[in-house]
Amino acid sequence: MKQMVREAQGSITGALEELCSVQFVEDRWSHAEGGGGLSRILQDGATLEKAGVNVASVWGTLPPEAEQVMLHKEGLGTGPHQFAAVGLSIVIHPRNPHAPIVHANYRYFELDDGRWWFGGGADLTPIYVYSEDAELFHRVHRDCCDRHDKTYYPRFKAWCDGYFDIKHRGERRGVGGIFFDDLRTDDPESAFAFVSDCAASFLPAYIPILARRRDQEYGERELRWQGIRRSRYVEFNLMYDRGTRFGLRTGGRVESILMSMPPTARWEYGHQPQADGPEARTLDLLREPRDWVTKD
């Protein structure tokens, strides 16, 4: 898993550097109890206003409050537990409001009692929803799931729709993708192969979208809406995201955990988009999940 996430980090940052003519900076860090990670970060680029592609491999004692975040059906039993975790985390905030935010995370956990599981997924958060972008993103991930188990995509797509639900707003964070946790099989290698394939699917699912949206024209209206939609991203991450809560409760590195936040956001009191405008149409599409791809 450590080798896979390092190789994925290299291929993803390399592709983004080539497309956007930029260079990520590296920030190597250590975990207090054991292990550490390597963050590759970009800020204030012409195409990517902020981007992070991070890997981590850490171990230590799992605090009781972190155990509460891990909602495993059988429970964690008497603690404290020793844990090891390896992960890849990707968040990209493009500058152009027509280019969607994207997030992906793939991780492996192991406890000292021999239990192990994989988790992760990828989801797309458009400022303005373009159906062709949502369809591409979902098709790539559906095809990836189908290569391993035909039940995965419908299960993990529905899980993603349910997970990225901003309940207090009555809307989803974006158009979804796939999401799963507690993934264990009789064959650990088959589970690892699936997670590896998911990580490899990030570039074909997102790079074509970024390439066709990065130079689209925009003005102050689009930037204002981008700020408002980014604020929803912040609200979800701070209030509901399990990864953010787990990282902060296990003494994780704050800069790496909160690298998912956009560089700017807006909160306008009582904001309502123009009834017949593209902002209102986007909001309508985010209120209920949609089936973006069907069987070919």
Active site residues: 103
Distance between CA atoms of residues 78 and 74, nearest Å: 12
| Gap between the Cα atoms of 224 and 177, Å rounded | 26
Contact 119, 110 (CB under 8 A): no
Strands (E), the chain: 25-30, 35-43, 48-62, 81-94, 101-111, 116-125, 165-166, 171-172, 176-183
Residue 115: which residues within 8 A CB-CB, separation 6 or more? none
What per-residue string of b and e applies to 32-54 under the rule 16 or more CB within 10 Å gives b? eeebebbbbbbeebebbbbbbbb
- Quick check: bond before 80 cis, omega within 30? yes
What distance in Å separates the CA atoms of residue 114 and residue 278, rounded to the nearest whole number?
51
Rg (CA), the chain: 19
User: Strand, helix or coil at 275?
Assistant: coil
How far apart CA 248 and CA 111 sit, in angstroms, is 19
